[in-house]
Each structure stands twice: as C-alpha cells, then as structure tokens.
Amino acid sequence: MVLHFPTPSGYGGWTIGYYGGARRTKGAPVRSDARARRQRIIEAACEIFRTQPDNAPLENIAEHAGVGIATLYRNFPDRAALIHACAIHMFEQVLALQEEVLAGIDAAPERHWFRYVDAFITLGVGPLAAAFAPDNLNELPCELAELRARASHNGEAIIDAAKRHRLVAGDVSHETFIVGLLVVARPPVPGVLTIRPNITTELVDLYLTGLKHGPQLR
C-alpha cells in the first residue's frame, strides 16, 4: 500500500510507502490471500476506529473489510487482539512518516515540518490513540512499548530540527507538540462545521504559530 497525504497547509501532497500486506508469491496463494485479508481487516478497523473509537461493532469492521465475521475472528479472536494489530499498524505508519521527514527536513524545513503535521492529522492519530491506548501507557505490551519508544525518539529528533530552523520554540518537547496537536485537531461537532467548515485547519495554523513562541508567562 502507498499512503498519499494531502497537505491542507498548501504545500502539496506527499507519499509514504508502507507494505503491511503480503505480496502474492508463486506456490503460496493461500497464505498470500490470507495475509491480504488480514491486512484488509486491520485497515478497515483503523478507518472505522477513526470515527468510532469506543464502540465500533466488529461486524461493521468485517463488512467494511469485505469479509465475514467468522474470518475476522479466525484472524483476531477478540477485540483486544484486533486493537493490538491496529496499534502496530499505526506505529509503523508513524515511523515511516518520521523517516521521510527526518531525511528531508534540513534541506526543506518548512515543507517537511508541515508535512509532518498534516500527515499526523490525515492518519487520524488522535482518535486512533484514544481507541488503542490503555489508561496507563506504562501498561503497553512490550512490542508496542518498543514501537512507541522509537517513535518518541524520532519525534524528538524532528522537534530538534524544527527548533534549529526556528519553527518551534526551544522549550517545546515532542510530547507537548503531539498532545497539543491531538487536542486542536480533534474532529469538531457537526454543528461547528456548518458555521466554520475549515475550523480544524484554522486551529492547527494558530497552534503552529504559537509553537514558534512557546508558552508565555501570565
């Protein structure tokens, strides 16, 4: 699968290669098809969890993936197993994004900084994190904890680069950046969208402007 991210900030689209599904190989059609179905279920679940993080029925996920509920349960015996697989998928997408940004941010700072922000929003990391994260992040399974640590390390490197290019104030951490972004980019209630259809983009732009100056003492 190749992910394409439109950029609301006006910097064009960009693409991340992500190959979570299996390629069909000669002599192993059943295994390849099974892997492809499993990947479809994960991607369908992530898509639904972005809008229904708390109560998405597994039957709806199976239907969206084009499989029967029995096939879903053969791959994921319960909701927890599916959520675990979706969380891995999300972290792998984030890591691919971060590698792309780190490779280019010093050559084109603003372009890649805005790519990072816009892609995070497009990925729906906010609602997905709400669906996948335990109440205590220290309780993450080892595999997810390792992925989170790698993403955090890469994120701090991106923030450091943004600071070097004066896109972010010196006392802003990646954790602060992510938490703030998830709050301002949260999908608004429908009534707000009828009044200000571009409110999310406006709030994110205001947030990024504030990051340049950092917190002000009151």
In a domain, 10, yes or no: no
Q: At what angle do helices 109-123 and 79-104 cross, to 10 degrees?
A: 170
Q: Exposed, middle or buried by CB within 10 Å (0-12, 13-18, 19+), for 80?
A: exposed
- pLDDT, residue 126, reads 75
How many distinct structural domains can be found in the chain? Answer: 2
Q: Which structural domain range is residue 64 located in? A: 31-77
Structural contact between residues 86 and 46, judged by C-beta atoms closer than 8 angstroms = yes
Q: Are residues 134 and 154 in the same domain?
A: yes
Residues forming a β-bridge with 15 = 4
Provide CB contacts within 8 A for 156, sequence distance 6+: 173, 174
Q: How many helices (H) and strands (E) does the chain have?
A: 10, 2
For position 49, which CATH number holds? 1.10.10
40 and 142 in a single domain? The answer is no
Query: What is the token pair recorded at 169?
Result: 């104030």
Structure-token pair, residue 84: 């675990």
Residue 29: the pLDDT is: 52
Q: Which residues pair with 5 in a beta bridge?
A: 14
Measure the N-to-C terminal CA separation of the chain; round to a whole number of Å.
48
Question: Looking at residue 96, what is its pLDDT?
Answer: 96
Run means of pLDDT, 10 residues per run, the chain, 218 residues: 45 44 45 91 93 83 96 94 92 95 97 93 79 72 91 96 95 91 81 85 91 76
Give the model's pLDDT for residue 17.
45
Q: Give the pLDDT confidence score for residue 217 in this predicted structure.
A: 60
Whether residues 141 and 65 fall in one domain: no
pTM over 0.85: no
